[in-house]
Amino acid sequence: MDAAIAASATLSVIYPQMTSVGGDAFWLIWDAGRRQVRFLNAAGRAAAAAKIEWFSERGLGEIPVRGVVPATLTVPGAVDGWCEAHAAYGRLTLADDLAAAIHYARGGFEVTERVAEWTAGAAEALKASLEAARTFLPGGAPPQAGQRVINGDLALTLERIAAEGRDGFYGGETAREMARWAGAHGGFFTERDFAEQRAKWGEPLSTVYRGVTIYETPPPTQGISVLQMLNLLEPFELGKLDYLGPDHVHLLVQAKQIAFHDRDRLIADPEFVKVPVERLLSRA
């Protein structure tokens, strides 16, 4: 578990376009003592003051591709997931788990080709934020592969978490600054939204594909779509088809289309709507 937390934290530094302390986390954890797979939901909630009327009054029937920042942002859940998983299964200190991430954020990391390509493609969006531009556009230009990038602000955030646990992120100066920034830029976050964020344990979903039990994360995640696709594909002998040949690709695409159609219509937060999980996973 310590390795998983350390990897997640470090990736938030060196792979910033894909993962972040500002995001969510969904865990599938094998508990050897209980001999079972556990699900940890570290999704963030919308701010309590965010109401559907605010969006409808602005003619928004759906969230745009890039959102309405910061109005559509949810409370970051990933950090509470780290803390909850660490409390249940960690053997090292949380500070030990975060040490590598802090090292790379404070001392800098060498940009990979992929990060360099992403930064170049997102340069215009990054320029819209003074803080983002200062970090990811050093000298006003996207960094080249091999160039060292330092993220001192993220290092400070991680250091607070290492020292104080969840209170170092969901309370104190970090939460205060995020709430202040949101309020100044048209968002809804308050310090109370951060203080009330909690990861929750739940039950995973599963299916049996050709004799192998596959576990996935339940709604509100899209994990059920993977299980749906496997159930749809099980009757077909995929191994006898040319890999990525026309027939092979056709079956994969058809299964994905069906599963994603159901996802878009039916998958939502089960705290607010009833998701027909049994029907979606039924082979009948």
Question: What is the distance between the alpha carbons of residues 29 and 37, in angstroms, rounded to a whole number?
Answer: 5
Average pLDDT of span 166-182: 96
Question: What is the distance between the alpha carbons of residues 255 and 234, in angstroms, rounded to a whole number?
Answer: 11
Residue tagged 């003592």 (tokens): 33
Whether the Cβ atoms of residue 9 and residue 98 lie closer than 8 Å to each other: yes
Domains identified in the chain and CATH numbers: 2-108+150-201 (no CATH), 205-281 (1.10.246.130)
* pLDDT value, residue 62: 80
Average pLDDT of span 213-226: 97
180-207 tens-digit pLDDT: 999 999 899 999 999 999 999 999 999 9
Whether the Cβ atoms of residue 87 and residue 27 lie closer than 8 Å to each other: no
Phi, psi of 214 (to 5 degrees): -110, 125
Average pLDDT of span 149-166: 98
User: pTM of this prediction?
Assistant: 0.92
Backbone torsion region of residue 60, taken as left when φ is above 0, otherwise alpha when ψ lies between -120 and 50, otherwise beta = beta
Question: What is the distance between the alpha carbons of residues 73 and 84, in angstroms, rounded to a whole number?
Answer: 22
Question: What is the distance between the alpha carbons of residues 193 and 74, in angstroms, rounded to a whole number?
Answer: 9
Phi, psi of 213 (to 5 degrees): -80, 125
Residue 17 token pair? 């376009």
Whether the Cβ atoms of residue 219 and residue 264 lie closer than 8 Å to each other: no
Residue tagged 């056709």 (tokens): 250
Average pLDDT of span 209-237: 97
- DSSP character at residue 18: T
Q: Which band of pLDDT confidence, cut at 50, 70 and 90, is reported for residue 165?
A: very high
- DSSP character at residue 243: T
Question: What is the distance between the alpha carbons of residues 266 and 179, in angstroms, rounded to a whole number?
Answer: 32
Over 90: is that where the pLDDT of 84 sits?
yes
User: What is the share, in percent, of the chain residues with pLDDT greater than 70?
Assistant: 100
Cβ neighbour number for residue 29 with a 10 Å cutoff: 17
Residue tagged 């576990």 (tokens): 215
Average pLDDT of span 68-79: 89
* pLDDT value, residue 65: 75
Q: Which band of pLDDT confidence, cut at 50, 70 and 90, is reported for residue 63?
A: confident
1-46 tens-digit pLDDT: 999 999 999 999 999 999 999 999 999 999 999 999 999 999 999 9
Average pLDDT of span 169-180: 96
242-261 tens-digit pLDDT: 999 999 999 999 999 999 99
* pLDDT value, residue 213: 98
